[in-house]
DNA sequence: CCATTATATGCCGATATCGGCATATGTCAA
DNA sequence: TTGACATATGCCGATATCGGCATATAATGG
């Protein structure tokens, strides 16, 4: 039982959405549920490949399936995207308020300088 | 030149942050810049491993480096996290307003039913 | 029952990945 | 210069991944 060389894709949502085609699938499903062949047609990918990606998404809980006749209708289940959102959201300041924050720091320094002079 | 079996991790931020230890490194750096050995100490990982993860983060632009004497000080550069944020943000409704939306749909259906009766 | 449609699985090859260990590179200090 | 410190790289092994192709499974229609 050697050490795992890599975290399995099937393990968490972070890995699942690291694959561009899987994001594409989720994007399609965000507009509404769809049977596999629909996705195949839109994506222009071989059906087995699409099924495999759907499997990964299913295993991390990002999509749900429903049987309708001989079709399998997939639908988005965004619940497991929330952890990703929460994680990146914490970094929002690092891009949107990057310079603002720098300004804040400078402002603070100026204040301290001012107080020193008051002494 | 055979087809690539997998998108290189070094390719984009999505793949880079799919690795838990790399997220951990970013989390540490979000509190402020740090030299490699600092990270090594906190993470409790072998130094070469940390250096390799830092390399990946560097290559996708998620961190910047600065030479200070014989140390290399890494700092966060959140710019490339924004695409991830933007992507997941579009799914916000799929978890936070999931049931609200379902209610909306039901409401809409009821309205249509009502109109039919009016004819 | 049989053929057709819809989807999932299995096996394969090429390659990328993580982690381990040894070692190269670079910088300071005496 | 020599040696200690800080970090990066190289090579390796085990394994996971994506995509291709063939095939299994499942449900429907005739």
Considering only residues 21-40 of chain A, list those whose CB is below 7 Å from strand D: 21
Assign B57 to helix, strand or coil: helix
- In tens digits, chain B (119 residues) has pLDDT values of 455 566 666 689 999 999 999 999 999 999 999 999 999 999 999 999 999 999 999 999 999 999 999 999 999 999 999 999 999 999 999 988 555 555 555 555 555 544 443 44
Residues of A in contact with B26 (CB under 8 A): 91
- Domains of chain B as residue ranges with CATH: 9-118 (1.10.10.10)
pLDDT per position as a tens digit, B74-84:
999 999 999 99
Residue A34: count of CB within 10 angstroms of its CB: 19
List the one residue out of A54, A17, A5, A97 whose CA is nearest residue B79: A97
Q: Nearest nucleotide, C1' to the C-alpha of B36?
A: D7
Residues B22-61: b if buried by 16+ CB within 10 A, e if exposed: bbebbebbeeebbbbebbbeebebeeeebeebbebbbebe
Residues 6+ positions from A61 with CB-CB distance below 8 Å: A13, A77, A79, A80
Beta strands in A1-119 (DSSP E): 34-35, 63-68, 71-76
Nearest to B85 among A78, A82, A88 (CB): A88
Query: Residue A107: its pLDDT value, please?
Result: 55
Residues of A in contact with B96 (CB under 8 A): 82
Residue B30 sits at φ, ψ, to 5 deg, of -70, -20
Which H helix or E strand runs over A86? helix A82-89
Tell me the pLDDT band of A23, cut-offs 50, 70 and 90.
very high
List the one residue out of B32, B30, B35 whose CA is nearest residue B72: B35
Indicate yes or no: strand C within 7 A of the C-beta of B45: yes
């Amino acid at each position: 039982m050697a050490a795992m060389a890599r975290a399995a894709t099937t393990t968490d949502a972070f890995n699942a959405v690291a694959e561009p085609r899987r994001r594409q699938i989720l994007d399609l499903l965000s507009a509404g549920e769809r049977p596999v062949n629909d996705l195949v047609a839109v994506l222009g990918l071989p059906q087995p490949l699409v099924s495999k990606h759907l499997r990964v998404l299913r295993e991390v809980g990002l999509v749900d399936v429903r049987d309708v006749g001989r079709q399998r209708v997939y639908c988005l289940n965004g619940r497991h995207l929330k952890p990703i959102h929460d994680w990146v959201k914490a970094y929002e300041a690092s891009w949107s308020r990057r310079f603002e924050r720098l300004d804040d720091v400078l402002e603070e320094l100026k204040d301290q300088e001012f107080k020193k002079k008051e002494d």
